[in-house]
Amino acid sequence: MQETSNIGYILGLIILLLTAIIGFVLYHLMQAKKEKKELESNFYTLERRVNDLQLETLESKLNPHLFKNILNSIQSHAYQTYFALDKLANVLDYILYESKKKFVTPKEEIDFALNLIEINKIKISPLFELKIKTNIDKEDKLYEEPLLAPLISIDLIENAFKHADLQNPDAFISVIFEFKNNAFSMTVSNKISDKKVLKKERSGIGNATLEQRLRIIYKNNFKLDKFVENDIYIAHLKIDLLEYKTEMFTVGR
């Protein structure tokens, strides 16, 4: 009789334990479902914002399809989703609001560019060599003064990710931002892909727009060099903001 009682007691404990385990699993499944629903809601909110993006002027000729492709990449990499969505939100806010300003600070533009690069990292393998370097004199008085045209860095970055062979183990992309001696500069280099890039009717508009904007805004106070060396494409942009600011005051703008 005692043995039967012990068996019943043990079975009761097992049932209680199983009930607790099932309850624990169900709770976490419900939490995961809730988080997934919130994530999907955030994703579609961002997608709607992209669809509303209108950047047709010379100051901001961007292709919203770029961001739709990024969103698709983010959705297929769940483990990076929260981080990437946060970066994408920052990028979209900058494009929608800051780009409407005539000028932003070098700090704001560099922060935007770094966020854009983080999003593009989703496209590449963790083994791909992506080198990002900043050499900034934060004590420079012009570092946080609005003298830089917004989105001035985007074309060189997009071009590197477009023309590098992201699957080649020998390929790389390097981006260097510098701000010193009152000048903003960035150097972007990448190993050129051996694959032939299909020519599109509107190809090259990004670089053409960049050069046109630089000439209109900065006149002789910038230098843009683009060349190929040992199958490596290098683009270097430097803008002398102090000289530009001096000219602005001289002509009374």
Question: So what's the pLDDT on residue 148?
Answer: 95
Tokens of 195: 């694959």
- Cβ atoms 194, 171 nearer than 8 A: no
Closest CA to 124 of 169, 83, 62: 169
The residue assigned the tokens 């001289």 is 250
pLDDT in tens, 191-207: 887 765 444 444 444 56
pTM of the full structure: 0.66
Tokens of 92: 């979209």
Mean pLDDT of the residues in the chain: 77
Average pLDDT over residues 208-224: 89
Distances (CA, A) of 20 to 9, 14, 16, 25, 233: 17, 10, 6, 9, 61
Residue 224 pLDDT more than 70? Answer: yes
Closest CA to 57 of 101, 17, 16, 108: 101
Q: Which residue has the higher pLDDT, 7 or 27?
A: 27
Closest CA to 39 of 49, 28, 47: 47
Phi, psi of 90 (to 5 degrees): -65, -40
Average pLDDT over residues 121-126: 78
- Cβ atoms 153, 113 nearer than 8 A: yes
What percent of the chain clears pLDDT 90, i.e. is strictly above it?
Answer: 30
Structural domain spans, the chain: 1-48, 53-251
CATH classification for the domain delimited by 53-251, as one of 3.40.50.920, 3.30.565.10, 3.20.20.70, 3.10.450.50: 3.30.565.10
